[in-house]
Amino acid sequence: MTAPAFSEDDRHFMRVALSLSKRGLGNVWPNPSVGCVLVSSDGAIVGRGHTQPGGRPHAERVALDLAGPLARGATAYVTLEPCSHVGKAPPCATGLIEAGVSRVVSALTDPDPRVSGRGHKMLRDAGIQVDVGLYADEARRVNAGFLSKAERSRPFITLKLASTLDARSATASGESQWITGAGAREAGHMLRANHDAILVGAKTVIADDPSLTCRLAGRGHQSPLRVILDRAGDVPVTARLVQTADDVPTWLVTANKNFAELSEKFQKTAVKVISAGCADDHLDLHDVLRKLADEGLTRVLVESGGNLAAGLIRAGVVDRIIHFVAPSLIGGDGKAMIADLGLKQLADAPHFKRTSVREVGADIAVTYDKITE
């Protein structure tokens, strides 16, 4: 089959759909965050939508409801294949067929085994022109979390780091508040808003007793879930994350052998205890991430200390690093932002690809992505 030819208009409307799709990131898991734009034959947008909080209604349903009868004869631009399965609502492919759209431009095939090509086929069987693949790379980037869950059985992992110029995250005595400025902290809250969960280690919970909520004007409701890795069961019931688990869900992942004991320890709280396997004296991070994906998480932001950060890097599961760098120095006895990586030689150092640099107040934020061949 020859590749479909896309017009400038097609490109424009798919870009609108992609920018809509980003709005759901962080609060639609376990679903992907999809954008949909319906365009009439004279080029007017008659409907638009993105996946709604909790994952339903889907983007197409929102756009179709907005368009009503104006959807007849329209072209639908969708950032992911319309679904073909009967869930809590009829499939989006059926919705598009019944509404009488004449063409569907879709960025990507949905890897969900319930769909994976069937949505496109249903549309074609109904006589609708279906063109797939426009801005596929961009659509993959927006839904890197959902695709990671579907294709690798683990969430997309972003590691947030904040340090001085010399990569120290605290003084020798452990003082760390505040190394970066107010702008970087606000950017950190934005990051929380578009992730499904924040991951921390028990050590951080015990040392800092953080609340890890998203405190942004108007976006307070977007606090992601909190996940604590606590192999040995050290986190006290009095910790803020435990005490506030009614408001913002908190999960605690512990070693299989501690599961029964910890379930009892947290029985009177809203904390959900999950168990995972161990490797040596640590939680097996691959197993932990598989469990988190099984629970539906797609995008996880790591705000841990240097030990868990090093563990995740050593396990090769860090997909993105966002490093906030303050224009200050602590010096050699300060705490390194990444603990020992066990390198024997420089050639073994993990490498990332820098993908953006931006100024954030007096600090800079540098983003690095995993190098994937």
**Residues in contact with Zn ion, total (CB under 5 A)?**
3
**Structure token digits, residue 321:** 């690093």
Closest separation between CB of residue 91 and Zn ion, Å?
6
Q: How far apart are CA 370 and CA 355, in angstroms?
A: 10
> x/- site string to Zn ion, residues 54 to 93, per CB under 5 A?
----x------------------------x--------x-
Binding range to ligand AOF, per CB under 6 A, among 48-56, 206-214, 272-280, 314-322: 48-56
Separation of alpha carbons 145 and 52, rounded Å: 16
Can residue 56 be called a binding residue for ligand AOF (CB under 6 A)?
yes
Give which of Zn ion, ligand AOF, none residue 157 binds (C-beta under 5 to 8 Å, depending on kind): none
Does 308 contact ligand AOF by CB under 6 A?
no
Which 199-228 residues touch ligand AOF, going by CB under 6 A? none
Name residues contacting ligand AOF, limited to 57-96 (CB under 6 A). Answer: 58-60, 80, 82-83, 87-88, 92
Shortest CB 65 distance to ligand AOF, Å: 13
DSSP state of 24: G
Residue 122 or 325: the one with the smaller Cβ distance to ligand AOF is: 122
In DSSP notation, 63-105 reads HHHHHGGGGTTPEEEESSPPP-S-SSS--HHHHHHHHT--EEE
Q: Residue 45: which H helix or E strand, with range?
A: strand 45-50
| Number of residue whose CB is nearest ligand AOF | 87
Establish if 118 lies at the interface with Zn ion (CB under 5 A).
Answer: no
Task: Please tell me the distance from the alpha carbon of residue 164 to that of residue 180, in angstroms, as a whole number.
Answer: 8
Q: How large is the C-alpha radius of gyration of the chain? A: 23
The yes-or-no answer on residue 264 being catalytic is no
Count Cβ atoms within 10 A of the Cβ of residue 342 and give its class: 0-12 exposed, 13-18 middle, 19 or more buried. Answer: exposed
Least separation in angstroms between residue 77's CB and Zn ion is 15
Q: What CA–CA distance (Å, rounded) separates 225 from 250?
A: 6
Annotated catalytic sites, by residue? 60
Which spans of this chain sit near Zn ion (rule: CB under 5 A)?
Answer: 58, 83, 92
